[in-house]
Amino acid sequence: MSGTTGKRKEIYKYLAPWPLYSMNWSVRPDKRFRLALGSFVEEYNNKVQIISLDEDTSEFSAKSTFDHPYPTTKIMWIPDSKGVFPDLLATSGDYLRVWRAGEPDTRLECVLNNNKNSDFCAPLTSFDWNEVDPNLVGTSSIDTTCTIWGLETGQPLGRINLVSGHVKTQLIAHDKEVYDIAFSRAGGGRDMFASVGADGSVRMFDLRHLEHSTIIYEDPAHTPLLRLAWNKQDPNYLATVAMDSCEVIILDVRVPCTPVARLSNHRACVNGIAWAPHSSCHICTAGDDHQALIWDIQQMPRPIEDPILAYTAAEGEVNQIQWGATQPDWIAICYKTACEILRV
């Protein structure tokens, strides 16, 4: 193509009214370039905002904004790439909440609270929504447990789909707080999940055999592990990052306890990791050094020296990174009050 006619922008930016922490891409095929953003305000009243890019004007606009108690620790849209389920998103914080997206009104469908003692709540650090069976959601908590929830996205009554949930199982996953949970695509993609926590271990579970778990990795200094992400194309690989660490550790479940690679170009602590949705050998990482880096790990187990792409967010520490499952050409990052999507 000649000149700039028809040339698409490489970066789109949205400025929210408040600092951002959690963020994620919508998965539905009919809602391209839609994201949900969670505020990070250190008080009870926080917000979630759904934004969408108008591809004609190249501008993001807010489609729906709703209140949320405390900052969201994670936001996810229902992993429904065919658009057959109700248009749901979930948030974790004090509890797990499921919402029905609407413009302008997003409606709370249910609050899932596993604690029968109403005086006490053990905040949720993270959750994951099962891609193979979107009626399964797993949560991780500071009370050392993981809970697997069964959702019922009931048949429509009139125009209303009723969404409810029940506890399928709750297990003590770690010796200390659990900081992240993620379902694996191995073995059919429904029953296997892993978690990381303050005891510095990565543990793997099978819903069919919950009487035992497998320790995949333990940090030598027992430093807490904060994040966990499975490779989207090769379920043998996962990535984790330790608290205040500048490096991302890549693990192979077939070789437990020995990292197959260390990605160590960040110059300050890593805050986020996201595998490519469409490639088994690409992963992006983001950190307090204002950088988002994309790595090609094909050379493993030979050392991975440098990233193949680097983007610097001049104004702030990058605290969130997500790679769009239905738009693999785009990565989203958050820093300060900004959300940017970057064409890769």
Judge contact between 146 and 195, C-beta under 8 A: yes
Judge contact between 50 and 61, C-beta under 8 A: no
Judge contact between 151 and 165, C-beta under 8 A: yes
Cα–Cα distance for residue pair 26/89, rounded to 1 Å: 8
In a domain, 286, yes or no: no
CB atoms under 10 Å from CB of 228, counted, come to: 26
Q: What are phi and psi of 27, to 5 degrees?
A: -105, -20
- Looking at residue 68, its pLDDT comes to 97
Judge contact between 214 and 201, C-beta under 8 A: no
In a domain, 332, yes or no: no
- Looking at residue 174, its pLDDT comes to 94
In a domain, 253, yes or no: yes
Count the domains in the chain: 1
Instruction: For 199-246, write each residue's pLDDT tens digit.
Output: 999 999 999 998 889 999 999 999 999 999 999 999 999 999 999 999
Number of H helices, E strands in the chain: 0, 28
pLDDT confidence band for 311 (50 / 70 / 90): very high
In a domain, 305, yes or no: no
Instruction: For 59-101, write each residue's pLDDT tens digit.
Output: 999 999 999 999 999 999 999 989 889 999 999 999 999 999 9
Residue numbers of the domain that contains 228: 9-270
In a domain, 340, yes or no: no
- Nearest Cα residue to 129 out of 26, 224, 29: 26
Q: How many percent of the chain have pLDDT more than 70?
A: 94
Judge contact between 27 and 80, C-beta under 8 A: yes
Instruction: For 134-193, write each residue's pLDDT tens digit.
Output: 999 999 999 999 999 999 876 555 555 678 899 999 999 999 999 999 999 998 989 999
CATH of the domain at 198: 2.130.10.10
CB atoms under 10 Å from CB of 229, counted, come to: 22
- Looking at residue 114, its pLDDT comes to 79
Q: 274 burial class (0-12, 13-18, 19+ CB within 10 angstroms)?
A: buried
- Looking at residue 109, its pLDDT comes to 93
In a domain, 104, yes or no: yes
75: number of CA atoms within 13 Å, CB side? Answer: 29
Cα–Cα distance for residue pair 241/255, rounded to 1 Å: 18
Query: For 229-233, 282-286, 302-306, which range has the lowest pLDDT when averaged over its residues?
Result: 302-306
Bridge partners (DSSP) of residue 37 are: 23, 49
Between residues 3 and 190, the one the model is more confident about: 190
Cα–Cα distance for residue pair 88/97, rounded to 1 Å: 10
User: Cβ contacts of residue 118 below 8 Å, gap of 6+?
Assistant: none
- pTM for the structure as a whole: 0.93
Q: Is 44 helix (H, G, I), strand (E, B) or coil?
A: coil
For residue 6, pLDDT beyond 60: no
Cα–Cα distance for residue pair 229/238, rounded to 1 Å: 6
Q: Max CA-CA distance within the chain?
A: 66
Q: What are phi and psi of 103, to 5 degrees?
A: -125, 115
In a domain, 325, yes or no: no
In a domain, 261, yes or no: yes
